[in-house]
């Protein structure tokens, strides 16, 4: 299994692999046990003294044992001190790495922002100089395609997706992912340069300053521009139950939560936990994107919902989940945990951050949710693969501080080209969820306890699926 998990956030500045944190905890346990041995040796030494041995006419071996006990106490005291120092050194290294990582992130974002503004300033001139070549190449390709026999043209168009998948390994390179993250964070600076706004003004208003403009406003511009041509236009949605409720049990692990995310026609699953006193709590599972078309069809889990959500607007998929929750009986006071993959994770974070629900936890996998503000008192475990392009579309984490778990899926094996974004698929995220369950890292252990306790006292658990469709395509 590729890549050890790296843990950060959750109110701590330490950043390191789960293995390093586990070693620090083992050293802490060793320190406690050695301290106990030292106290025991000291207690025995207070009773068995040289004068006591002389008074009882003890044999020479007893005196030798008493000296060995003193020597052992010295060795144990030294080992106890070394264990404490090693644990402290590991924690300090994790803190130092976290500081360096945050500083490097801020620096690269600052540089990317300045370069983005300069690029935007020069963009009109660059575009004008390249326009003749672009028109010529586009015209040549269009003419060549038109001259092909219809059968050849259809075969070529049908082969393009397969060619893209076979040559998509570069999209799973962590360096590509980081570059996309920086480009996303610099979109507002590029726009400011195009509009010839002063660089310092753009800097103060942007992600590096007050955050008034940034990823959300850039997404809003894209949605607004596309809407002129009829793309990315939101529509009403209709939600219906998919079959009867099924008896089940509360999940006992993060891997099990990942496995419960809807896969078939339904996009939403809601588990209802009945308590002994008649009250109920709920766990909501939200699927990822199903349709990648820019023009709305029947499917609300599409790019229209994706981009409207990232623009801070109420998307069709968001409204569908709210309607499903209403049908299931969830109200503002109902305790609820949200789980989601990809677009589903983005919606889960938005629901948790809306303040409209009594949210008790959020678990997201590969979600572009870095710009969503979720209260710090809500346990949130956010999982991202460093070779997954989708989470990078939300830029750097800025508004919230979840327990962030990262892993490089293809760290020690070739990138599969069966799909365009292999590290974004739910299967590798289930692998990462299993690694989280196996980890002894303090923040992950506490998060697992918080999530498991949510359904512990339920007397009955029922699960129901919901399917949503767009009912007014425009």
The whole-angstrom separation of Cα 319 and Cα 150 is 43
User: Looking at per-residue confidence, does 94 or 10 come out higher?
Assistant: 10
Higher per-residue confidence, 124 vs 185: 185
pLDDT score of 53:
57
- Which of the given ranges, 116-125, 164-173, 284-293, has the highest pLDDT on average? 284-293
Is the Cα torsion angle 242, 248, 249, 255 positive or negative in sign?
negative
Tell me the pLDDT band of 171, cut-offs 50, 70 and 90. Answer: confident
What is the strand order of the sheet 268-274 is part of? 12-17, 6-9, 403-407, 380-385, 358-365, 335-341, 280-286, 268-274, 460-470, 237-248
Phi, psi of 20 (to 5 degrees): -65, -45
pLDDT on residue 19 = 67
Q: What is the structure's pLDDT at 219? A: 81
User: Mean pLDDT highest for which of 45-54, 222-231, 386-395, 413-422?
Assistant: 386-395
Contact by Cβ (8 Å): 382, 402: yes
* Per-residue tokens: 449: 């306890």
Task: Please tell me the least confidently modeled range out of 55-59, 233-237, 264-268, 312-316.
Answer: 55-59
pLDDT in tens, 143-160: 676 666 777 766 766 666
- Could you read off the pLDDT of 47-97 as tens digits, one per residue? 666 666 556 666 666 667 666 667 777 887 887 777 777 777 777 777 777
Query: What CA–CA distance (Å, rounded) separates 289 from 309?
Result: 12
Q: What is the mean pLDDT of residues 189-213?
A: 81
Chain centre distance of CA 381: 7
pLDDT at 405 exceeding the cut of 50: yes
- pLDDT of res. 121: 81
119: Cβ contacts below 8 Å, ≥ 6 apart: 190, 193
User: Which pLDDT value is given to residue 1?
Assistant: 45
* Residue 296 pLDDT: 82
Q: Is the pLDDT of residue 130 over 80?
A: no
Mean pLDDT of 254-271: 96
- The residues near 65 (Cβ < 8 Å, ≥ 6 apart) are 48
Task: Output the pLDDT for position 226.
Answer: 73
Write down the pLDDT at residue 24: 65
> What whole-number percentage of the chain has pLDDT above 90?
45
Least confident of 7-21, 327-341, 348-362, 408-422: 7-21
Average pLDDT over residues 389-411: 92
Counted residue by residue, the chain has a size of: 474
- Which is nearest to 444 in space by CA: 404, 414, 471? 404
Look at residue 165 and tell me whether its pLDDT is greater than 80. Answer: no
pLDDT value, residue 432 = 97
- In the block, tokens 């969503």 appear at 372
- The structure tokens listed for 285 are 């599972």
366 torsion bin: left (phi>0), alpha (psi -120 to 50), beta (else): left
Query: Is residue 348's pLDDT more than 90?
Result: yes
**Which residues, 6+ apart, have CB-to-CB distance to 239 below 8 Å?**
268, 320, 323, 324, 327, 466, 467, 468
Neighbouring residues of 430: CB distance < 8 A, sequence distance ≥ 6 = 255, 258, 259
Phi/psi of residue 403, each to 5°?
Answer: -70, 105
Task: Check residue 55 and give its pLDDT.
Answer: 64
pLDDT at site 210: 73
Let me know: does 214 contact 206? Beta carbons within 8 Å. Answer: yes
- If one compares 242 and 134, the residue with the highest pLDDT of the two is 242
Q: 31 pLDDT exceeds 70? A: no
pLDDT score, position 22: 66
Q: How many CA atoms lie within 13 A of 215 on its CB side?
A: 25
% of the chain beyond a pLDDT of 70? 83
Nearest CA among 289, 300, 299 for reference residue 424: 289
pTM of the model: 0.83
pLDDT tens sequence across 224-261: 777 777 778 899 999 999 989 999 999 999 999 999 99
Average pLDDT over all residues of the chain: 85
Three-state SS string over the chain comes to CCCCCEEEECCEEEEEEHHHHHHHHHHHHHHHHHHHHHHHHHHHHHHCCHHHHHHCCCCHHHHHHHHHHHHHHHHHHHHHHHHHHHHHHHHHHHHHHHHHHHHHHHHHHHHHHHHHHHHHHHHHHHHHHHHHHHHHHHHHHHHHHHHCCHHHHHHHHHHHHHHHHHCCHHHHCHHHHHHHHHHHHCHHHHHHHHCCCCHHHHHHHCCCCCCCCCHHHHHHHHHHHHHHCCCCCCCCEEEEEEEEEEEECCCCCHHHHHHCCCCCCCCEEEEEEECCCCCEEEEEEECCCCECCCCCCCCCCEHHHHHHHHCCCCCHHHHHHHHHHHHHCCCCCCEEEEEEECHHHHHHHHHHHCCCCEEEEEEEECCCCCCCCCCCCCCEEEEEECCCHHHHCCCCCCCCCCEEEEECCCCCCCCCCCCCCHHHCHHHHHHHHHHHHHCCCHHHHHHHHHHHHHCCCCCEEEEEEEEEEECCCC
């Amino acid at each position: 299994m590729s890549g050890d998990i790296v843990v950060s956030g959750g109110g701590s500045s330490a950043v390191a692999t789960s293995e390093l944190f586990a070693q620090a905890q083992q050293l802490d346990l060793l320190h406690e046990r050695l301290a106990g041995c030292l106290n025991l040796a000291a207690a025995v030494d207070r009773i068995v003294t040289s004068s006591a041995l002389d008074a009882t006419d003890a044999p020479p071996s007893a005196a030798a044992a008493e000296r060995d006990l003193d020597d052992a106490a010295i060795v144990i005291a030294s080992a106890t001190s070394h264990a404490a120092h090693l644990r402290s050194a590991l924690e300090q290294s994790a803190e130092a790495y976290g500081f360096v990582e945050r500083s490097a992130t801020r620096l690269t974002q600052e540089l990317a922002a300045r370069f983005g503004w300069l690029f935007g300033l020069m963009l009109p001139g660059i575009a004008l100089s390249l326009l003749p070549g672009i028109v010529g190449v586009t015209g040549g390709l269009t003419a060549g395609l038109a001259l092909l026999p219809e059968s050849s043209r259809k075969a070529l168009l049908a082969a393009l997706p397969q060619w893209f998948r076979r040559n998509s390994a570069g999209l799973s390179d962590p360096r590509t992912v980081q570059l996309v993250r920086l480009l996303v964070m610099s979109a507002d600076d590029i726009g400011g340069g195009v509009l010839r706004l002063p660089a310092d003004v753009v800097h103060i208003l942007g992600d590096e300053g007050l955050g008034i403009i940034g990823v959300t406003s850039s997404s809003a511009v894209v949605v607004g521009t596309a809407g002129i041509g009829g793309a990315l236009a939101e529509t009403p949605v209709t939600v219906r139950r998919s079959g009867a409720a099924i008896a089940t049990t509360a999940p006992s692990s993060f891997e099990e939560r990942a496995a419960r995310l809807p896969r078939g026609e339904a996009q939403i699953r809601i588990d209802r936990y009945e308590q002994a006193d008649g009250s109920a709590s709920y766990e909501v599972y939200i699927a990822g994107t199903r349709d990648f078309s820019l023009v709305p069809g029947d499917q609300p889990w599409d790019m229209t919902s994706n981009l409207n959500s990232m623009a801070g607007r109420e998307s069709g998929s968001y409204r569908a989940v709210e309607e499903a929750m209403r049908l299931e009986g969830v109200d503002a006071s109902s305790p609820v945990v949200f789980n989601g993959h990809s677009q589903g994770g983005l919606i889960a974070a938005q629901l948790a951050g809306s303040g409209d629900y009594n949210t008790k936890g959020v678990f997201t996998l590969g979600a572009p949710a870095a710009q969503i503000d979720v209260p710090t008192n809500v346990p949130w475990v956010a999982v991202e693969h460093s070779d997954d392009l989708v989470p990078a579309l939300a830029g750097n984490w800025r508004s919230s501080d979840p327990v962030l778990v990262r892993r490089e899926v293809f760290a020690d094996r070739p990138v599969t080209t069966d799909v365009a974004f292999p590290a974004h698929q739910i299967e590798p995220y289930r692998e990462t969820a299993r690694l989280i369950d196996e980890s002894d890292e303090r923040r992950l252990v506490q998060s697992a306890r918080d999530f498991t306790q949510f359904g512990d006292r339920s007397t009955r658990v029922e699960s129901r699926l919901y399917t949503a469709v767009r009912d007014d395509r425009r």
